[in-house]
Every structure is written in structure tokens, then in C-alpha cells.
């Protein structure tokens, strides 16, 4: 009986968190708050667990070690960026590109260097994995994730401009995801 009680508590807590973030059954059908962007993002992230293509045996040993080391460093940097952004955002975190009603605009710490440091960290992790695996497939996943996170961030910024009047100034001061890469650093 205790197992069913714990299962119920976990289910209810999960429901509360999803509701707080803005998830609805209607939204899953209509993409009302960007639920489809999150779904695509999660699928692309989980696809990184698939084996590399082409196989690593086809690449010579010294170059293989170089790429594994480089990819590992990039992925570790991405993990650090993601962790820091996650902590800095705190209670304002939502996986949807739609701010919660009670959220505040965070512009300090990691958010003073990038408007979307969580996305930046995820992209570093994805790029690092594609380098570690030396996989055309994983590099393709990285490109798809870049496009998905950029689209999600742009949608999110539409909502943030409406909710926070000073967000337009923040856009002018802080790079979007990665500074000096036009596709990932827009100012409008």
C-alpha cells in the first residue's frame, strides 16, 4: 500500500510542476505555449545516445584521441554553463518558451553574458558529443538542435518582451546565445 501512496505523491507533485510551468492538454495539441519546441528539443537530446555513424574504427588513432579530448572539453564547458544557468534561474525555470506568471526577469550572473545560457550550454554539450563520437549523424543532430533552440528562444523572447518592458534594452546589451555568431546572436 505504501508503494501506491508514494506513486500517487510523485504523480501529484509532477502534475503540480507541469501545471506551474504552463503545460496543458490543449497546449500539447496546439503548441499554445511552445510545447512542440520542447518535445523536439528533448527528442534531439535523447537521440545523442544513439551510436555514432560512421564508426570510430575508420578514423586513425592519434586524431581520434585529439577529437575525443577536444569534444570532452567542449562538453564539460557546456555542462558547467548549463548547471550555472540552471542555478541562476532558480524558481523562474520553465522548459516552455513562455514565462510563468510569477516569474521575474533574471539579468545577472550567467544571464549577463547570454540571454539564453541554458541553450548555449546544451549546444556546447551537443557539439562536444558530435566531436567525441566523430559522427556525421551526431553533427546533424547538433545542427537540428541549433535550429530548434534558436526558434524556441525567438518565441520565448516574443513573450518576454510583452511581460517585461525592459527586455528590449536587455536584448540590445546581451548576446542571445553565442556572441558574434549572427544566427545565434540576434538583436531584435
pLDDT above 60 for 30:
yes
- The structural domains of the chain, with segments of one domain joined by +, span 27-184
The pLDDT of residue 142 is 97
Query: What are the pLDDT digits (tens) for 104-129?
Result: 999 999 999 999 999 999 999 999 99
* Full 3-state SS string of 97-158: CCCCCCCCCCCCHHHHCCCCHHHHHHHHHHHHHHHHHCCHHHHHHHHHHHHHHHHHHHHHHH
Q: What does pLDDT average to over the chain?
A: 88
Cis amide leading into 68 (omega within 30) = no
Query: What are the pLDDT digits (tens) for 137-175?
Result: 999 999 999 999 999 999 999 999 999 999 999 999 999
Distance CA 77, CA 95 (A): 21
Could you tell me what percent of the chain has a pLDDT over 70? 93
Read off the pLDDT band of 183 (50, 70, 90): very high
CATH of span 27-184? 1.20.120.1630
The pLDDT of residue 178 is 96
Which of 54-68, 74-88, 127-141, 154-168 has the weakest average pLDDT? 54-68
The pLDDT of residue 64 is 77
Residues 6+ away with beta carbon under 8 Å from 112: 174
The pLDDT of residue 59 is 56
pLDDT above 90 for 79:
yes
Amino acid at each position: 500500500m505504501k508503494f501506491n501512496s508514494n506513486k500517487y505523491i510523485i504523480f501529484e507533485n509532477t502534475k503540480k510542476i507541469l501545471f506551474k510551468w504552463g503545460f496543458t492538454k490543449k497546449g500539447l495539441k496546439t503548441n499554445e505555449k511552445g510545447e512542440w519546441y520542447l518535445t523536439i528539443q528533448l527528442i534531439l537530446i535523447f537521440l545523442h545516445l544513439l551510436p555514432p555513424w560512421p564508426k570510430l574504427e575508420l578514423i586513425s588513432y592519434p586524431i581520434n584521441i585529439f577529437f575525443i579530448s577536444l569534444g570532452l572539453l567542449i562538453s564539460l564547458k557546456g555542462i558547467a554553463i548549463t548547471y550555472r544557468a540552471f542555478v541562476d534561474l532558480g524558481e523562474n525555470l520553465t522548459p516552455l518558451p513562455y514565462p510563468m506568471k510569477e516569474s521575474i526577469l533574471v539579468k545577472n550572473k550567467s544571464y549577463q553574458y547570454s540571454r539564453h545560457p541554458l541553450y548555449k550550454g546544451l549546444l556546447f554539450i551537443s557539439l562536444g558529443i558530435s566531436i567525441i563520437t566523430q559522427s556525421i549523424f551526431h553533427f546533424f543532430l547538433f545542427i537540428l538542435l541549433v535550429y530548434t533552440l534558436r526558434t524556441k528562444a525567438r518565441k520565448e523572447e516574443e513573450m518576454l518582451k510583452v511581460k517585461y518592458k525592459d527586455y528590449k534594452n536587455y536584448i540590445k546589451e546581451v548576446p542571445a546565445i553565442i556572441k558574434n555568431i549572427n544566427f545565434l546572436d540576434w538583436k531584435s
